[in-house]
Amino acid sequence: MTSIKERLEEDIRNTMRARDRERLGTLRFLKSQIQMAEKNALKELDDDGVSDVITKQAKDRRESIEMFGQGGRADLVEQEQAALAVLLEYMPEQMDTDAIESLARQVISEVGAAGPSDRGKVMGRIMPQVRGKADGSEVNAVVSRLLESLG
């Protein structure tokens, strides 16, 4: 099985041949972010480390989409959405809200959470399980809503 980095290299070559400038720009930026993370860590990243970089980039794109949307910059929103779509191709399948809620209910019961004050305990247990598969802000919102209904 090929690593994420090997797949990225192959996709960059194919995208160059296809002359898809926008996609190529996103892929090259992602590659540079991975290289920077490796330089900072002083070691080569494995697939989990690369996934963390991709997850951070996807989060940054989502935040940009929200900010550009509030600023009325539809052109930049469209550009960021296209880049986000490329990044999502390299991430594991994302959990839907129902799956997050089901897992959150399970973790709440496991830790014996009684209300909003137990959010830290719940988030500490759930985040490693959803790493790369769900947006942290969405998980936080679901956990908060469930804990509010308890307390």
Walk me through the domains of the chain, giving residue ranges and CATH numbers. Answer: 4-88 (1.10.1510.10), 97-150 (1.10.10.410)
d(CA 31, CA 99): 31
Residues 6+ apart with CB under 8 A from 24: 12, 15, 16
Which of 6-10, 96-100, 132-136 tops mean pLDDT?
A: 6-10
Per-residue pLDDT, 85: 94
More confident residue, 9 or 118: 9
Across the range 46-55, mean pLDDT stands at 88
pLDDT class of 86 with cuts at 50, 70, 90? very high
More confident residue, 73 or 137: 73
CB atoms within 10 A of CB 88: 14
More confident residue, 2 or 117: 117
Per-residue pLDDT, 63: 93
Per-residue pLDDT, 36: 96
Task: Check if the beta carbon of residue 31 is closer than 8 Å to that of residue 53.
Answer: no
Nearest to 103 by CA among 56, 143, 145: 143
CA distance readout (Å), 40 to 27, 33, 43, 45, 74 = 20, 10, 8, 11, 35
Across the range 129-134, mean pLDDT stands at 83
| 57 burial type by CB count under 10 A (0-12 exposed, 13-18 middle, 19+ buried) | buried
More confident residue, 138 or 11: 11
pLDDT class of 54 with cuts at 50, 70, 90? very high
Q: What is the mean pLDDT of the chain?
A: 90
User: Is the dihedral angle over the CA atoms 59, 61, 66, 67 positive or is it negative?
Assistant: positive
pLDDT at 52 over 70: yes
pLDDT class of 1 with cuts at 50, 70, 90? low
